[in-house]
Each structure stands twice: as structure tokens, then as C-alpha cells.
Amino acid sequence: MTAIYVVAALLVVVFLFGAYRMMGSGATVEEDPRAVLVAVLSTATEAAQSLDGTPVSDDGAGSPHAVRRRLDGCAQALERIAGIPVDATLDEARTMLELAVDELTWSARLAEAPGYARDEALRTAGTSLRSRGAANLEHARSQLDG
């Protein structure tokens, strides 16, 4: 009877050790910072274009909520490569992309507000954020192309 408990305890320990090893294996994947920055630039540029023609309805891939979710994904991708050392040009592009994604995310949040279509101040703030975000995207693009 004791042997059954010993075998069961050993199986649990082996299972927990295997689960621990599998969870840790995903964290060691190295990413190419340049490739991530290019992908973020592309996605954020598409999001900015979607925000320029912000629809009134909240359904579909072009809705402010869907755009904000894509931008949240961009922010997560930038966080994944934040600790990877890069040269000065890529670091500047990363900084510009972080700013652009943040500004565009706030613009999308404003567009999600119920009174956005009726409030001139909200629309002006959203336009200003999109304008700054687009300028930062262009700066990042020049750093990545150059």
C-alpha cells in the first residue's frame, strides 16, 4: 500500500518538473528586434489609417475598439523586445514606435467614448493624438529604412 503512494508522489513530482520545464522553454525564444519593429510599424500604420476614418458603429475590424486591441498587441510586442540591447538607430525607432502606439491607443480610446461624435473637443484631441502618432510613425520609418 505504501508503494502506491510512493509511486504516485514520484509521478506528481515528475509531472510538476516537466510542466515547469515546458513553461520556462517559451521564455528563452530570441526575437529579432528589427523584425518586430517592422511588424509593429506596419500594424500601427494600418491602425492609424483606420482611425482616420473612424466609423460610428462599434462592429467590424475598423471599429475603435478593434483598432485599440491591435495597438495593445503592438505595445505588448514592444515590451517583449524592450530588454534586448540594440544599436542607437533601432533604439530610437523603438522609442518613436512606443510613443506612436501610446498616442494612437489614446486616440482610439477617445473614439470609443459615447459622446465622441457629438463633442468637438474630443474629436480635436483625437485628431491631435493621431497627428502626433503619425509623425512618430514616420520618424520610426525613417530610422528603420535608413
User: Using CA atoms, how far apart are residues 84 and 103, in angstroms rounded to an integer?
Assistant: 23
Higher pLDDT, 87 or 7: 87
Longest dimension (CA), the chain: 77
Q: What mean pLDDT comes out for the span 11-35? A: 75
Q: Which residue has the cell 511588424?
A: 39
- The contacts found for 129-133 with CB under 8 angstroms, 24 or more apart, are 129/103, 129/104, 130/48, 130/51, 130/52, 130/103, 130/104, 132/99, 132/100, 132/103, 133/44, 133/48, 133/99, 133/100, 133/101, 133/103, 133/104, 133/107
Supply the pTM of this predicted model.
0.75
User: Using CA atoms, how far apart are residues 107 and 80, in angstroms rounded to an integer?
Assistant: 23
Percent of the chain with pLDDT over 90: 63
Q: Tell me how far apart the terminal alpha carbons of the chain are, to the nearest angstrom.
A: 72
The pLDDT score that the predictor gives to residue 5 is: 84
The pLDDT score that the predictor gives to residue 56 is: 47
pLDDT band at 146 (very low <50, low <70, confident <90, very high): confident
User: Using CA atoms, how far apart are residues 107 and 142, in angstroms rounded to an integer?
Assistant: 23
pLDDT band at 15 (very low <50, low <70, confident <90, very high): confident
Higher pLDDT, 3 or 113: 113
Higher pLDDT, 99 or 54: 99
Spans of all domains in the chain = 1-30, 32-145
pLDDT in tens, 100-120: 999 999 999 999 999 998 999
